[in-house]
Structure 1
Amino acid sequence: MKNDNSVSFPTKGKETFAERLEMAIGNTSVRAFANAIDISEGALRKYLKGLSLPQIDKALLMAKQANVSLTWLLAGEEELPNTHNDSETATAVAISEFNEEFILIPGYHVAVSTGHGKLCPDEQIKRHLAFRRKWLKFRGFVADGLAVVFASGDSMEPTIHTNNTLLVNTADTKLTDGSIFVLRFGEELYAKRLQKRFDGDILLISDNKEYEDQIVKADEIDKLHIIGKVVWIGKDLY
């Protein structure tokens, strides 16, 4: 049964994310709302102008702050919760809906990765990206073995461009010819295709043919640490 004080959102004419976000913010100033969810005012204004869309974790923060349903904010589905009553319940429902549908995977910045065989210690996590549970299950991935890193450089173009997002399965470190791995050789991190040669050497292959393949000699294999296989690439189209 609906609460008599609940507010149904008039979807007519409010079909875009930007329009729903504007209504959710209401009379709160853009600056105050941005500060409350720890994003820049400029980024929030881009969302309000329809110039870009937030990642799921940011959208969740917006929904919680505005006390609206995450599914309504993202897709225009369901009703807009009452902004005066049952705020804790509404927030709990939004979080529950999100957790049921998505898993947050920790994101690291490759440039600050340290240690051997691991991406980073926990304190180096910079952000989280949301992935659908059904997709992870379909691919056979375990969330605890996944990490997000961000590419740097042009050696893997056109497959990977600088600042592209890479999902790495750290549970898969078995060398398979032609697959792309995040690896550490010495103190440097790379995203390269790997190929094992008959003499025991391993080739680090760049998709950008302006770069020569690197060779890890058989007697240097102990310096090579495969961190995980790249299983997904996220990139902007322009």
Structure 2
Amino acid sequence: MDFGSLVLARLEELGENVNSFEAKCGWPQGYLRAVVRNDEKRTRPNLERAKEIAEALDLDFYIGPKRETGTVYTTQIDHEDFAAIPRVDARLAAGAGALNGEVSLQGALAFRQDWLRERGISPAQACLLTVAGDSMSPTLHDGDLVMIDERRTTVRNRHVYAFVDVDGSARVKRVELVPDQLIILTSDNAAHPTETRTGPDMNRLRILGEIVWSAHAW
């Protein structure tokens, strides 16, 4: 399948059309259509443009040695297909940061495969962790379970990410990147101040993935 056909298939999965998606992304008219049109005027995007389109569609964009895709454990419940997402015995600090040390698997939860596909989530590159602290409330509460999409490591400003901070602690915050200047870490709880990382610390902060689902126990 060529790039244009892949884009069209993904748009169909998302229930989008070319014109509406161009507008949603703020692209000029024809920016995406030129890539997907089925005639001699179809253009081949350069790497930068292809990466931009893939990220907007929540598709994995990768050029390099062949990667291991990982094992996906599946099952059927009432004839519906489910994938098991592993639950990791570690805590993401919604606050000052928590050092987890070694982590281990703590079972798994089953998610419908069609639900995962609709959201562009690969079961082999997702995991579940527990939130610790209240800095992300009311969005995330202490003890909430969250799913991390490990493929989504390119920062989309103001989205919520799990990351390893410069001191090695695992944390969860809204992340905003000002290229070559600073990283802004924001809590949803106004009682917690906004933090920044500048200079060498920008490269020492490692994004684990974007938070794409959460569950709260009452």
Q: TM range, normalised to the smaller chain? A: 0.5 to 0.7
In structure 1, give the amino acid aligned to 2:107: R
Query: For residues 120-148 of structure 1, what are the alpha-carbon distances to aligned partners after superposition, in whole Å with 9 as ceiling and x for unaligned?
Result: 5xxx0012111101101111111111000
Larger deviation: 96-105 or 204-213? 96-105
Cα distance change, pair 97–204 in 1 and its aligned pair in 2 (3 A): same
Question: In the alignment, what sits opposite 1:170?
Answer: 150
Distance in 1 of aligned mates of 2:155 and 2:118: 22
Distance in 2 of aligned mates of 1:159 and 1:212: 16
Gaps of at least 5 residues in structure 1 are 1-94
* Higher helix fraction (1 or 2): 1
Q: Report the TM-score, using the length of structure 1 for normalisation.
A: 0.53
Q: Secondary structure of the residue that 1:97 maps to in structure 2?
A: strand
Residue among 89, 114, 122 paired with 1:142: 122
Question: In the alignment, what sits opposite 1:102?
Answer: 82
Q: Does structure 2 retain, via aligned residues, the 8 Å contact 1:202–1:218? A: no
Question: In the alignment, what sits opposite 2:195?
Answer: 214
Q: Does structure 2 retain, via aligned residues, the 8 Å contact 1:179–1:194? A: yes
Question: In the alignment, what sits opposite 1:230?
Answer: 211
Query: For residues 170-204 of structure 1, what are the alpha-carbon distances to aligned partners after superposition, in whole Å with 9 as ceiling and x for unaligned?
Result: 01100110100000012111110001236611011
In structure 2, give the amino acid aligned to 1:195: E
Cα distance change, pair 113–105 in 1 and its aligned pair in 2 (3 A): farther
Cα distance change, pair 177–162 in 1 and its aligned pair in 2 (3 A): same
Q: Secondary structure of the residue that 1:211 maps to in structure 2?
A: coil
In structure 2, give the amino acid aligned to 1:201: L
Query: For residues 207-230 of structure 1, what are the alpha-carbon distances to aligned partners after superposition, in whole Å with 9 as ceiling and x for unaligned?
Result: 001000111113211220000000
Residue pairs, 1:54-133, within 5 angstroms: 97-98=76-77, 101-111=81-91, 113-114=100-101, 120=103, 124-133=104-113
Q: Does 1:201 align with 2:182?
A: yes
Q: Secondary structure of the residue that 1:222 maps to in structure 2?
A: helix
Question: In the alignment, what sits opposite 1:19?
Answer: none
Q: Secondary structure of the residue that 1:172 maps to in structure 2?
A: coil
Question: In the alignment, what sits opposite 2:40?
Answer: none
Query: For residues 12-36 of structure 1, what are the alpha-carbon distances to aligned partners after superposition, in whole Å with 9 as ceiling and x for unaligned?
Result: xxxxxxxxxxxxxxxxxxxxxxxxx
Q: Percent identity?
A: 24
Runs of 4+ in 1 over 2 A off after TM superposition: 95-100, 109-115
Q: Secondary structure of the residue that 2:193 maps to in structure 1?
A: coil
Q: Does structure 1 retain, via aligned residues, the 8 Å contact 2:75–2:83? A: no
Q: Does structure 1 retain, via aligned residues, the 8 Å contact 2:174–2:186? A: yes
Q: Report the TM-score, using the length of structure 2 for normalisation.
A: 0.58
* Higher strand fraction (1 or 2): 2
The structure showing larger relative contact order (alpha-carbon pairs under 8 Å, at least 6 residues apart) is 2
Q: How many residues are treated as equivalent by the alignment?
A: 136
Distance in 1 of aligned mates of 2:117 and 2:155: 23
Q: For the aligned residues, what is the CA RMSD?
A: 2.1
Q: Does structure 1 retain, via aligned residues, the 8 Å contact 2:100–2:169? A: no
